[in-house]
Amino acid sequence: MEIEQLKSQINGFLKANQAQHFTAQNMADGLRMHSATEYKQVTNAMNALVRDGDAIDEDGRYVYNVNAGLVIGDYRANDKGFGFVKYDADLPDFFINPENTLQAMQGDKVYVSTIKPSPSPDRGPEGKVEEITTHAYERIVGTFSLGSEATGMIGELRISDKKAMNFKVLVNANGLTPNDGQVVVAEVTRFPDKIHPRELVAHVTETLGYKDEPGMDILQIVYAKKVPSEFPQDVLDDAAKIPVDVPENEWAGREDITEQTLVTIDGADTKDIDDAVVAWKLDNGNYHLGVHIADVSHYVTEGSTIDAEAYARGTSVYLTDRVIPMLPRNISNGIASLNPNVVRLAMSAEMEINPQGRIVNHRLHTSVIKSHARMTYDAVNKILAGDVFVQEEYAQLTPMFKVMGELHEILYKMRKERGAIEFDAPEAQIIVDDEGKAIDIKLRERGTAERMIESFMLAANETVAEHFDKLEVPFLYRIHETPDEERAKSFFEFSKALGHPVYGDPSKVTPSMLQKLMAEVAGDPAEQMISTMMLRAMKQAKYSSEPVGHFGLGAQYYTHFTSPIRRYPDLTVHRLIKWYEKHGYGVDSQAKYADKLLKIGEDTSTKERRAVDTERDVDALKKAEYMLDKVGLEFNGVVNSALKFGLFISLENTVEGLVHISNLTDDHYEYDESHAALIGRSKHHIFQIGQKVRVKVLRVNKEERTVDFILIDTESAPTTEIRVASKSNGKFGVGRNRDERRKNERRGKSEGPKLKRGPLDAKQGQKRDSKRNF
C-alpha cells in the first residue's frame, strides 16, 4: 500500500476514535498487515502522521491531534512588538503582528493559525498565536536586587539571558528571600499579558552564589539553558553499586580479544575514553579494522534511574573549564572508560576493507578487550610524521600506526571520490586561569591522527547503519538531509554571481556538485565566501528513525555508534544491536522499539541543540571576557557576514564582533543580497564575506557577550561596479533612525548567522578535542 494512502486510512481511523490510543501493533492488526515489511510500513505511516501534526505519539500510543490544522512552532520576538514563528526548517517563518502575539516571549512554543497565506515562496504567511503551549522562561536565572516599588514585591531580577533582558522581573515573597547581589533561580508565576506586556512575576527557589564568584558566569548560562548539572542522589547511589572492575562471570557469551593490540587515541586531557582501535594488513591485500566501543549499555540498563537521567541530559556538555557529563563519573571515567591495561566490556565492529576503501565484510559482536596503550593525538602525529624518538618509544606499536595511516588515506580518498564535503573551520581553545577567567585563546590543530580516528569512526558508523537498514528493521539513524530547493537555488545564484557557477540542478543537488565547486575555488579569494554561504544553505544533522542518509558525508547509511559515554543515541544503538541479536528480526521483535525511536530521535536532537547553544554561549561569554582589556587595540580580521545592519568580523583567534553600519561613516552603505555585500553609494567600496580587514575594538559587553569593532582605513577597501538601488522604505538605506535600528537589529530577530563547525559527524560531536557536528 502506498504511504499516502496508508496515512489517510490511519488518520481517518484515529479521527473517528479520538478518545482512544492505539499502538502500531494495534493498527497493523486492524489493517491485517502482519509481515515484517508491512509492519514497518505501518510504523512509518504513523510516524509520518506525527511529523505532519495529525497525530500525537504518547510513549508509543498514538492518538488523533485535536489541534490538527494549527501549526506549532517556536516564537521569535522582536523589540518592536511583532514576532516570527519558526515551524519548518525549510519554509519561511510565520509573521505575527503585535496585536496577535498573545504576549509570547522569545522561545515560547506556540500554536498558530493562518490569517494570510504566503504571498510568495520567499515570504512566510501571516499568523496569529492561538495558544502558548510551553513557556521558555518558566524558570529564569538572574541577579537579585533588594527592594521594589511594586506592591507586595521584595525585589527584582536582572535576567542573565540577553534575549529577555528588556523584561522586568518582579520577585514576590512566596519563595526564598535572597541577599542583594545574589544569583538566583526563580519560578515564574505570572507571564506577560495585555495589562503587563513587559513584566513577569516570580518567586525564588534557589540561590547559586554571588555574581562575581569564580565560575558563576558559566553557571548562570547552564541554569538558564536548563542543562541538568547535578546528579540526583538516587542516581549517584545506583551508580555507586556498579563494580569498579569486570568480574570473570561477565565474560560469558563475549569474544575474548584481550590479546589483540588495541589502543586508544585521544586528546591528552580526555578522561572518558570510549573507543579503541586496531588494524593490520591481511594476506589478500585487504585491511582489518577493529573499532571497539565501551559497552555502556551493560551498565546503564533501560528504565533504570541512571538511564532516565542520561535521557534527560541527552549528551555530555563540554564547556571551557568543565564537563557536564551525561553519566556519573564512576561510569564515564571509570568502569566504562577504556583505560589502558585493564579489562573492559565492549561492542565491537570488525571490518575488512579493500584497497579502494570498500567494506567487503564485517561483524558486530560483544567482546572483552584490553587497551594496550593510551595514546595521544600528539604522539601518534609525531610517529606518522617520522619522529624517530617517538617511534622508538612506541617501537612495538609503530608498525601498526603506519598501517593505520595507510588505511586512513584509503578511506579519505574513498569519501572524497563519492562526494563527501569537508569544512575545516578553525576551532578555538579558550584558556582560563585558576579563577576561571579567560586569559588566552588558541586555535586547535587537527593533524593526521585526528583525521585518522575520524575516518575509522565514520567507517564503523556507516557499517552499523547499513547492516540494520538492509535488515529493514526499526533503527535509529544520524541523518543529514539534502538542502531544500529554495536554499540550493539561492546558493547557486550567489556562487554564479561571484563567477563560480555550480553545475547541476538545484532541485537535485548532490554532494559531488558542491565538492567540485570547492575544489574549483580552492585558493581563490572567493573560497571563504562560497564555503560560508554553502554551510548556511545546509540543513542541520539530526537523529531519526528514517534512513535518509547523510548528505554532507555523501553516505547512504549513517548512524552514531561510537560514543555511548557521551551521547544517548549511541547508547540506544547499542541496545538495538543487542536486542536484535538476542530476539531476531521478526514482527514481535521489531515491536519493542518501533514506537519509541521517533521520539528518541526528536528528543535527543533537541538536547543536542541545547548543548550546542550552551557551549556557544559560554564560548561567546569567555571570548568577550578575554577582549575586555583589549578596547582600543587593533586586530586583523575577516568579514564573516555582511548584513543590512553591519558586518560581523572574525578575528584570527575566532573572536567575532560587529561593525555596526552606523560606524561605517565614510559613505552611505546599502545591502546587496545577491552578493551578500555592503556597498557604498558614493565611493562604491564593497565589503563581503571572506574579505580581510583591519579593525579596532570599540567596546565589549561581557554580560551581553558582544564585541563591537570599527574599521581601520575603509578607503583601502576594494571598489565595485555593482550598484544597489536605494529603497524608499529604508530597508536597504542606512541614513535614518540609526540608534533605533541599532537597538532593534542588534537585539532583535537577527544577530548574524553563526558558522556551524565541521567536520561532518566525526569523532564524535561533543568532544572538545575534536570538531562539532553539523
pLDDT above 90: residue 674: no
pLDDT above 90: residue 427: no
Give per-residue pLDDT as tens, 203-213.
Answer: 999 999 999 99
Are 184 and 208 in contact by the 8 Å Cβ rule? The answer is yes
Report the mean per-residue pLDDT for the chain.
Answer: 90
Mean pLDDT check: name the lowest of 331-335, 349-353, 673-677, 683-687. Answer: 673-677
CA distance 413 to 724: 44
- pLDDT for res 725: 67
pLDDT above 60: residue 762: no
- pLDDT for res 402: 98
The amino acid that residue 649 corresponds to is I
CA distance 146 to 177: 9
Q: What is the mean pLDDT of residues 265-288?
A: 96
The amino acid that residue 494 corresponds to is F
DSSP 276: E
Give per-residue pLDDT as tens, 137-166.
Answer: 999 999 999 998 888 999 999 987 777 878
Give per-residue pLDDT as tens, 637-662.
Answer: 999 889 999 999 999 999 999 999 99
SS3 label, residue 264: strand
Between residues 90 and 270, the one the model is more confident about = 270
Closest CA to 76 of 124, 10, 40, 117: 124
**What single string gives the DSSP state of each residue in 595-632?**
TTHHHHHHHHHHHHHHHHHHHHHHHHHHHHHHHGGGTT
Q: What is the mean pLDDT of residues 59-77?
A: 88
> What cell does 241 get?
553499586
Closest CA to 547 of 537, 533, 559: 559
pLDDT above 60: residue 752: no
Q: What is the mean pLDDT of residues 15-31?
A: 91
CA distance 375 to 401: 11
pLDDT above 90: residue 573: yes
Burial label for 343, CB within 10 Å (0-12, 13-18, 19+), is middle
Are 651 and 640 in contact by the 8 Å Cβ rule? The answer is no
pLDDT above 70: residue 712: yes
Confidence of residue 54 (pLDDT cuts 50, 70, 90): confident
Mean pLDDT check: name the lowest of 359-363, 418-422, 575-579. Answer: 418-422
DSSP 540: P
The amino acid that residue 381 corresponds to is N
Q: What is the mean pLDDT of residues 38-64?
A: 89
Neighbouring-strand partners of residue 413: none
pTM across the whole model: 0.84
- pLDDT for res 761: 57
CA distance 592 to 462: 24
- pLDDT for res 129: 96
pLDDT above 60: residue 582: yes
DSSP 733: -
pLDDT above 50: residue 764: no
pLDDT above 90: residue 702: yes
Are 277 and 265 in contact by the 8 Å Cβ rule? The answer is yes
pLDDT above 70: residue 193: yes
pLDDT above 50: residue 506: yes
**What single string gives the DSSP state of each residue in 451-511?**
HHHHHHHHHHHHHHHHHHHHTT----EEEBPPPPHHHHHHHHHHHHHTT----S-GGG--H
